Amino acid sequence: MVETIEEAAPDRGPDAAPTKTWGDWVRFVLRGVGQILISAGVIVLLFVVYEVYITNYFAHEAQSKVKNELRTEIAQGNDPLGDGRLRLPGSKAPSVPDGTGIAFLYMPRLGADYAWAIVQGTNDADLEKGPGHYVGTALPGQVGNFAVAGHRVGKGEPFLNLDHLQAGDTVIVQTESKWFVYRVKGMQHNNIDSTDSDGIPGREIVSPSDGDVLDAVPDHPSDSTPTERLMTMTTCHPKFTAAQRMVIHAVLWKTYSASGLTMPAPVKALYNTQGS
How far is Cα 98 from Cα 95, in angstroms, rounded to an integer?
Answer: 8
203 is catalytic: no
Catalytic pick from 109, 183, 237, 245?
245
How far is Cα 149 from Cα 211, in angstroms, rounded to an integer?
Answer: 12
For residues 220 and 214, the answer to whether their CB atoms sit within 8 Å is no
245 is catalytic: yes
- Model confidence at 92: pLDDT above 50: no
**Taking residues 206-227, what's their average pLDDT?**
91
Query: Which pLDDT does position 16 carry in this prediction?
Result: 59
pTM over 0.85: no
**Taking residues 203-209, what's their average pLDDT?**
96
Query: 202 pLDDT band (50/70/90 cuts)?
Result: very high
Query: Which pLDDT does position 84 carry in this prediction?
Result: 44
- Model confidence at 222: pLDDT above 60: yes
**Taking residues 24-43, what's their average pLDDT?**
77
For residues 249 and 206, the answer to whether their CB atoms sit within 8 Å is no
* Greater model confidence, 167 or 225: 167
Catalytic pick from 133, 152, 203, 236?
236
Q: Point out the least confidently predicted range of 92-96, 124-128, 177-181, 255-259.
A: 92-96
Catalytic pick from 151, 183, 203, 229?
151
- Model confidence at 93: pLDDT above 50: no
- Model confidence at 94: pLDDT above 60: no
Question: Mean pLDDT score of the chain, rounded to an integer?
Answer: 86
| SS3 of the chain: helix, strand, coil, percent, to 5 | 30, 20, 50
Q: Pick from 94, 122, 102, 119: which is nearest to 214 by CA? A: 122
Q: Point out the least confidently predicted range of 26-30, 46-50, 154-158, 239-243.
A: 46-50
236 is catalytic: yes
> Residue 219: what residue type?
D
Q: Pick from 100, 80, 76: which is nearest to 88 by CA? A: 80
**What burial class does residue 13 get, using C-beta atoms within 10 Å of its C-beta: 0-12 exposed, 13-18 middle, 19+ buried?**
exposed
Query: Which pLDDT does position 119 carry in this prediction?
Result: 97
